[in-house]
Chains A and B, each alone.
Chain A
Amino acid sequence: MADYEALRQAVITGKVAQAKEHIQAALGRGEKAQAILDEGLIPAMDVVGQKFSRCEYYVPEMLIAGRAMQAGIALIRPLLAEGGGKPRGKVVLGTVKGDLHDIGKNLVGLMLQGGGFEVVDLGNDVKPERFVEAVQKNQPNFVMMSALLTTTMLSMKETVDALQKAGLRQSVRVAVGGAPVTQRFCEEIGADFYAANATGAVTKAKELLPSA
């Protein structure tokens, strides 16, 4: 049975070159891309998330680890597609209209990728209609919205309403997060769940969409 501990450690410590070497070596030994993802990269990002939750890691360490994870995924993505591997789910992600903050959103995207999800990142300052278009185009399982200002979080409700108006609301679960956002606000605007941080968002997404 293949041992991916060295790969996991490379990702956890953010060593891009080492992570790529371990992956290339594994592929050279005939190991499957899906196994590298499921037993190497995803568990590594689980550990990263746990370290963050325990305040052993901060945002910089998460981003550095995420960078190594993304480098690994880039290597195996073509092979995953060839092998018929499917992502766990698909998420459309963005910071809402008028808001340029994206660190939290980027962290959520990283952790979702690390959790086996396909992420469509719309960036920041995303108008409701762009979220709607992205849902129509990508048919995601989740829409996840981030806002860091009390003045911009109201766009979250506009987006929920836009999805409703477009007849898409029932086809997707809507999550919200960001500094001024609360569980109560989530309920008030008709979103499905609130996540206090990136690891919470991924945990909830996995709970709602367990892998086969």
Chain B
Amino acid sequence: MNRQFYLDLARAGHRLPIGVDLVLHEQPNPEAIVRDGQALGQVVAETARRYRTPLAIARMDLQIEKAVLLEILGVPAAEAAHYHFPTDPGAAAVARLAAGLPPVNLGLQAQIDAVGYIAAHTDLVPIGMTIGPFSLMTKLLKDPITPLYMAGSGIMAEDDADVALVGRALELGLRVILFSVAAQVRAGAKAVFMAEPAASVVYVSPNQIQAGSDIFERYVIAADRQVKALLDRHGVDLIFHCCGELNEYMVRQFTTLEPVILSLGSSRRLWEDAAVVPKHIVLYGNLPSKHFYSDAVITTEQVEAQACDLLYRMGRAGHPFILGSECDILHVSGSGETIRKKVAAFLGCRCEGPRPIRRYGEGRGTEQDTPAQ
């Protein structure tokens, strides 16, 4: 693949949701499908076809790499989701990974096989999926924020066990992610969607960054670069996603990873981010899909209006842009039809010039709409 492919999609006005979960939950047996690579691949393919996109983005399951890591380290599968390292598992844990990773767990194997299915049986672009190393690290510690802050204040790993644990968890997580990504690349992935939802102001204080700490580079970007380097060696593209709350510095840092697409959450004003994102990086997003489940929160008409407003503003910003969701659109029991209606709305709405818009979360409780500028 090459960057121009994505730029051309953007220039053609492409739109797509991250929508595998919606299609998956239309099936009678979603729990079985996520363990069956061929079945999962068929769902991914169906999703791409339904939403008329060449991009067959894998299912966003950000628990997989944690499960794989803990399985290797001997933590029972039933405990994996809740498990946090009580102490630094030490160099022995690193050695176990370095010695060669065993057969993968069912969830990861299905993910890999689904990518393979897309590559072998469709004309779609197979896109793998992984959690980012920083975000995986945050799932391995009960409290990652405090030791991260301490590290940002200059406390070294040799001085504090919790700071050391952060470093170890990051190292272990990165190794598993590289394994997962390499396997998906071997299966035929042309791009990998890396989700770093924790790389945000919730976990890393902007105050520390402003005071000169390199904590974001050290703990987020440096590890992400290693994933990017792996992808580069195989000519595979990076789609980078963070739906967390960010500041401009963080957005700039993400661009240094040179993704083909940068996907951001609804807290961002993409037309403002366009000023700091190079024009060879497509921006994607960022309709507030986490609230699609409720018409009381956002109606279909409001989704259309926001979509048109976003398209208009991005057009004025002159930045390559693909309209989409702020994150994976999850199926919500009892609200499936409501959500699908809104997805269809933003995919299909005709937008001719600016439309009056009260952007979601702004001006609530007022009667007056604010015309798009």
Contact partners of B149 in chain A: CB under 8 A: 60-61, 63-64
Given A63-B145, A100-B81, A103-B202: A150 touches B290 (CB 8 Å cut-off): yes
B330 interfacial by beta-carbon distance below 8 Å: yes
B72-121 contacts to A, CB under 8 A, are: 81-82
14 residue pairs of the A-B complex, CB under 8 angstroms, read A58-B207, A59-B145, A60-B152, A61-B205, A63-B143, A63-B145, A67-B146, A150-B330, A150-B332, A154-B332, A154-B334, A179-B290, A180-B290, A184-B296
Is B333 an interface residue, CB under 8 A from the partner? Answer: yes
Interchain CB contact under 8 A, B294 and A103: no
Interface of B is mostly: loop
Complex contact A184–B294 (CB within 8 A):
yes
A103 touches which of B145, B148, B296, B333 (Cβ 8 Å): B145
Give A179's nearest chain B residue, CB to CB: B290
Check A34 for interface membership: any CB of B closer than 8 A: no
Q: A180-B291, A184-B296 are in contact. List 10 more A-B contacts (CB 8 A).
A: A60-B145, A60-B205, A63-B143, A63-B146, A64-B146, A106-B143, A125-B81, A150-B330, A151-B331, A180-B293
Interface size class of A (residues with CB under 8 A): 20 to 34
Which residues of B lie under 8 Å from residue A185 when comparing CB positions? 294, 296-297
Interface string of B289-329 (1 = CB under 8 A from A): 01101101100000000000000000000000000000000
Report whether B205 and A58 are in contact in the complex, using a CB–CB cutoff of 8 Å: yes
Q: How far is the CA of A61 from the CA of B82 in the complex (A)?
A: 25
Q: Mark A39-60, 1 if CB is under 8 A from B, else 0.
A: 0000000000000000001111
Q: Counting CB contacts under 8 A, is A149 at the interface?
A: yes
Nearest CB of chain B from residue A205's CB, rounded to whole Å? 22
In the complex, are the beta carbons of A125 and B205 less than 8 A apart? Answer: no
Q: Which residues of B contact A151 (CB under 8 A)?
A: 330-333
8 shortest A-B CB distances, which residue pairs?
A: A60-B205, A184-B296, A60-B149, A150-B332, A58-B205, A59-B202, A150-B293, A151-B330
The residue in chain B whose Cβ has the minimal distance to the Cβ of A57 is B207
Closest B residue to A154 by beta carbon equals B333
Considering only residues 169-212 of chain A, those with a C-beta below 8 Å from chain B are: 179-180, 182, 184-185, 188
A contact residues around B275 at 8 Å (CB): none
B366 to chain A, nearest CB (A): 16
A121 to chain B, nearest CB (A): 12
